[in-house]
Each structure stands twice: as structure tokens, then as C-alpha cells.
Amino acid sequence: MLNGKTLMITGGTGSFGTTFVDRVLRDYSPSSIIIFSRDEKKQFDMRNRLHTPILKFVIGDVRERDRVFQAMKGVDYVFHAAALKQVPTCEFFPYEAVMTNVIGTQNVLDASEENEVDKVIVLSTDKAVYPINAMGLSKAILEKLMLAKARTFSSKTVFCGVRYGNVMYSRGSVIPLFIEQIQNKMPVTITNPAMTRFLLPLPIAIELVIYALQKGENGDILVRKSPAATIEMIADVILDIFQSKYGKKIIGTREGEKLHETLVTQEDLLKAQSYDDFYRIKNLERLDYDKYFVEGTIDKFPKEGYTSENTKRLDFSGTKELILSLREVQDLLK
């Protein structure tokens, strides 16, 4: 589907964008890839690293509606990755999270519809499920905005999304933090040893996005099944891999953090199809706007959703194997 097409990646110089572009350039032959982002330095570095005329770099912010509409002319597929993603940042500056994750998303969706883009895939997170922090709340609205567009049925554009847990070694995630602390001869800081988190290497997250491009239907949210580990287990593995003698320090759970994360709610499971590696949440199958207000369709709820507490739990060797599979960790160990 990507061969000969024009792609646009919002936030294209971030963790997702850089890895996705590498994969697309390796395995497909798109006509062009528009990297839409506001980071001039990262665009410069990406341009110099890849040296290909296929990449078109556009400076802009998803908050700037006119700029988004202008940049999207002639685009076939949009991958919406631009977001404020760090929980502490969004907690202290929630309005900024709204401006980027909510208003910015609406701008991208509207521009996609106006320019008759074939398909839009929005990237969401486990923190959008039963959200308790500003980042999760804004991402939950992102999903609702996508679904609202899909429900109009008047657009030529297909709107769908993907939702996944912690992407390992992505910007602001815990693994690079632990490694940086070890390199600075500091103890690794643990919020709560019993806290669990999904663990997903970025290349696997990319596969989910490509599947969504190929198979995703209007209103679908595709959710990658992932193993999980406790924060203490992750810390112990990192300490072992890098032979650190500085140990761990428990600092306590921070504002806006959950003990366990949820990827699929009990309510989602009622309309989800389960496959070996992912769930497909079919949001539009039983939709009737008039009946929505007066009739119910649910007879029995599942006992629980799909969470980092009840998914496959990795032991020490399993966690170590997964972390050692990361290219960034391999490069540091050379």
C-alpha cells in the first residue's frame, strides 16, 4: 500500500517517526514522506543521516491549523504521532497537553478529511484507558475525536488508531533514564517496586501501525498484546546488564502514576476481537445514534480488562532478553 504513495508523519522526528521512516525506506518505495514537526535540529540530523530525496521536511506545529492544512495537500496516508507524551510535563502544563494532543489532533483530522487522505492512523497509549493524569486524559480525547470523525460516514477518509503500552527506550521512558543514572554513577530511582508496566520494543509497535494501515477499518482501535514486568525487575536487569554497583533508591509514586496500566477496558472487550498478538476494538459495528440514548446492548461485563497486572509477566531472564534485544542497549554495550 505504501509503494508510490505520499506519507505524512506528524511529530516525524520523534521515536516513532525515525524508526517508522527507517522501516518504510528499507521495505517499501513511497513517492515521498513528509516529516512534519517543529524541531529544526532533529530535522537537520534526520536529513543528514538518511540523505534521500524521498524525505520532505516541513517545519510546523499541529496546533497551527492553517499550516497543517497546507502541508497535507496531496497526501495519501497520515500517521499522527505528534504529542506531548511525558506525564510530569502534562501534569504541570495541562493546557499545553490539550493544545497539542486535543486541538492539534482535531486539526490533523479535519485537514485529512478536507484533503481526502485515504487513511489516518492516530497513535494512542495505555494511559488513555481509565485515565488519571492530564496526558492520559488528552490522549483519551484524541481517541474520541478520531471515533467522532469515523462515525460521520460522509468522508472518503478512513480513520483508525493504535494503542500500545510503554515503548521501550522511547523518549522519556524509564530504561534510558536508568541507564543515564548508571552512567552518572547514581542509583536508579524506583517509584514503587510493585508497579507493573507493559514492555514493547518499538519495531513491534511499528508492525502494529503497518497492520492498521493494511487492515484497519473505520473506527477500529488496534491494541498490541504485550508482556509486562515490575519496575523493580526492570531496574534489577539494567543494573545487572551494566554491572552497576550503585544500586536502587525508592522515591515513591509520583502524582498521576498508576500502580498498573490497562490497555483494553472491560467495556472495550465487549466489542473487541481477540487475535494471537493483538485486539481489534470494533467501535462502529453496533452503532445507532438514535438508539444510543434509549437502548442498551450489554448483558454481561467481563470480570476485568486487559492490564499490565494480568498479562504475561516476565521473569528476570525474560526481561533481560527483551532489554538486550534493543538496538540502543546493544550499541551502548559495544
pLDDT tens across 236-245, in order? 999 999 999 9
User: What is the structure's pLDDT at 165?
Assistant: 86
**Residue 83 burial (CB < 10 Å; 0-12/13-18/19+)?**
buried
Which residues are bridge partners to 229 per DSSP? Answer: 197
Grid cell locating 156: 472518503
d(CA 13, CA 11): 6
Question: Which helix (H) or strand (E) segment is 9 a member of?
Answer: strand 6-10
Signed CA dihedral, 283, 87, 266, 279: sign only: positive
User: What is the structure's pLDDT at 303?
Assistant: 82
**Domain segments of the chain as ranges:** 6-230+258-333
User: What is the structure's pLDDT at 83?
Assistant: 96
Could you count the other beta carbons within 10 Å of the beta carbon of residue 298? Answer: 10
How many residues make up the chain in this entry? 334
Which residues are bridge partners to 274 per DSSP? Answer: 279
d(CA 279, CA 263): 10
Catalytic residue, chosen from 127, 225, 258, 271, is 127
d(CA 43, CA 222): 29
CA-based R_g, the chain, Å? 20
d(CA 196, CA 173): 14
Residues lower than pLDDT 70 in the chain? 286-299
Grid cell locating 64: 497551527
Grid cell locating 177: 533514564
Name the architecture of domain 6-230+258-333: 3-Layer(aba) Sandwich (3.40)
Given a contact cutoff of 8 angstroms between Cβ atoms, the answer to whether 285 and 271 are in contact is: yes
Residue 199 CA: distances (Å) to CA of 33, 129, 205, 222, 227 = 29, 17, 10, 17, 6
Residue 150 CA: distances (Å) to CA of 7, 73, 92, 156, 218 = 20, 20, 32, 10, 6
User: What is the structure's pLDDT at 253?
Assistant: 86
Q: Which residues contact 73 (CB under 8 A, 6 or more apart)?
A: 115
The answer to whether 127 is a known catalytic residue is yes
Question: Which helix (H) or strand (E) segment is 248 a member of?
Answer: strand 248-250
Residue 253 CA: distances (Å) to CA of 127, 196, 214, 257 = 16, 12, 40, 7
User: What is the structure's pLDDT at 238?
Assistant: 96
User: What is the structure's pLDDT at 157?
Assistant: 95
d(CA 42, CA 241): 30
Q: What is the largest CA-CA distance in the chain?
A: 64
